[in-house]
Amino acid sequence: MKRYENKNVVITGAAQGIGQATAKRIAEEGGSVALIDIKGLEKTQKMVEDLGGKAFSFECDVTDGVKVKETVDAAAEALGGFDTLFHIAGILRTYHTHEMTFEQYHSIMNINMHGTFYVNQAALPHLLKNKYSSITNMASTAAIGSHPWMSAYAASKGAVVSFTRALYIEYVKQGLRANSVVGGGIATSLHSDFKAPPGGDLKLLAGAMPFVGFAKPEKIASVFAFLGSDDARFINGTEIRADGGALS
């Protein structure tokens, strides 16, 4: 498939995991990409270029709203405009809620919730220049399921789901589609960082584990590639759950 020929895509969290796999998938389908992450984009850029794709790399902390706007504007200039945003950057941390510090809570919220707002807001003026455009944000099964030790993470990803639905209805008449991917059970560094806090009973996680095993990032990249493409033109303002059936 070459669904992204003559299309320009901005991808956050592109240094590894789902973001990196998505950049590779878009390059395979003929698209040009602007890669955004806090550091470590060299490998992803080389992967894209080895596939014959065009890539531009930008280091940015998504919790810095001013820097985010400067970076997204620079990405738009480098690409000559863009019509698709995949916002994948995020963080997962687990704590007993009664022991979580304010700093730990705000760190999760700043990256997952505020970062989503900053990136999406900065991208909107560029996206709305197109007749049709698309945003796909990375959410989590924690937003709609019951996961222990993840109260802040669940709240932040629940905010992503609600925020994305609000974008859809606000801008649908201007040709924008906005959806989120509710992912779970994905073998990435974000999930490998997971560990139960001291005294946590791992049996409480049984309902969040896919029976079919953990998915590689490429499986979720295919969902992003679909949602950003014209194949998904009639999908808007919703969440696509990609969790191997864990919440079924």
Q: Residues 15-32: pLDDT tens digits?
A: 999 999 999 999 999 999
Rounded CA-CA distance 111/188 in Å is 17
Distance CA 97, CA 75 (A): 38
In this predicted structure, the answer to whether residue 50 has a pLDDT above a threshold of 80 is yes
Note the pLDDT of residue 71.
Answer: 98
The overall average pLDDT reported for the chain is 92
Q: Give percent of the chain above pLDDT 70.
A: 92
Write down the pLDDT at residue 118. Answer: 98
* Cβ atoms 10, 82 nearer than 8 A: yes
Q: Look at residue 195 in the predicted model and tell me its pLDDT.
A: 72
- CA nearest 88: which of 186, 169, 193? 186
pLDDT for position 183: 87
CA dist 202 and 221 (Å) reads 28
Statement: residue 200 has pLDDT above 80: no
Give the whole-angstrom CA distance, residue 205 versus residue 150.
11
Per-residue pLDDT reduced to its tens digit, 160-190: 999 999 999 999 999 999 999 998 877 666 6
pLDDT band with cut points at 50, 70 and 90 for residue 247: confident
Query: So what's the pLDDT on residue 135?
Result: 98
153 is a catalytic site residue: yes
* Residue 175, both tokens: 């040709």
Backbone angles phi, psi at 10, to 5 degrees: -105, 130
How many percent of the chain have pLDDT more than 90? 79
Which residue among the candidates 105, 118, 153, 171 is catalytic per the annotation? 153
